Structure 1
Amino acid sequence: MKNNYLNIVGLAHRARQCSLGEDAIVQDIQKRRAELVLLANDVGPRTRKKITNKCHTFDIPYNIVDDRDTLSNAVGKSQRVAVAILDAGFATKIKSLLG
């Protein structure tokens, strides 16, 4: 059950409903396009602080999930530590699967 959310993240990436990269994620948070932000549990402290502070400021929910390798495999890219989900349907399903 825990890995089901990774399938939804992969679907969102293939549907072009997620953003990758710290700068793109921060821009999507500021423009209120992000519905949910997923952070790897082994992200660096500066990146974690920057993204979580932006999420708190703009009232965007975020979750700390598996490590960067697992999150990277879900989207098919290497060394991704954060993913912003842009679609409300995908975000709702991921939140329900994460609990």
Structure 2
Amino acid sequence: MSKLHQLLGLAMRAGKVVSGEERVLSAIRSGVAFLVLISDDAALNARKKISDKSKHYGVPLMTAGSRSELGRALGKAERVVVAVTDPGFAKAIRKRCE
């Protein structure tokens, strides 16, 4: 498991992650999302919807492996999109991905 997925798992255990398309869109709209991660095998419609919302609200968007890797990092079933709701975790994850 990569360092990115380890940090994402830690953020999940701390309660600083939301997953699922509608919950992530809600987090972006309400201003609590500091980073959005989307799987590289997400559907084009979902990718466009998340990308457009993220750009509009100024939330960084990154790809983070497959949906099964994202789900495994969170200790859940497959996940297509997740939002990090803590600025410290978001900064650490972005730093690891650069």
CA apart distance, 1:64: 1.1
TM-score w.r.t. the length of structure 1 is: 0.96
Partner of 2:91: 92
**AA matched with 1:69:** S
Structure 1 segments (4+ residues) deviating >2 Å: none
CA RMSD of aligned residues (A): 0.9
Partner of 2:77: 78
TM-score w.r.t. the length of structure 2 is: 0.97
**AA matched with 2:95:** S
Q: After superposition, what is the alpha-carbon deviation per residue over 1:11-53, rounded to whole angstroms, capped at 9, x for unaligned?
A: 1101100101100000000011000000000000111011010
Partner of 1:61: 60
SS at match of 2:77: coil
Partner of 2:11: 12
**AA matched with 1:24:** R
Gaps of 5+ in 2: none
CA apart distance, 1:79: 1.7
C-alpha separation in 2, matches of 1:52 and 1:61: 9
Gaps of 5+ in 1: none
Determine what percentage of the aligned residue pairs are the same residue.
34
Count of residue pairs the alignment pairs up: 98
C-alpha separation in 2, matches of 1:83 and 1:27: 12
SS at match of 1:37: strand
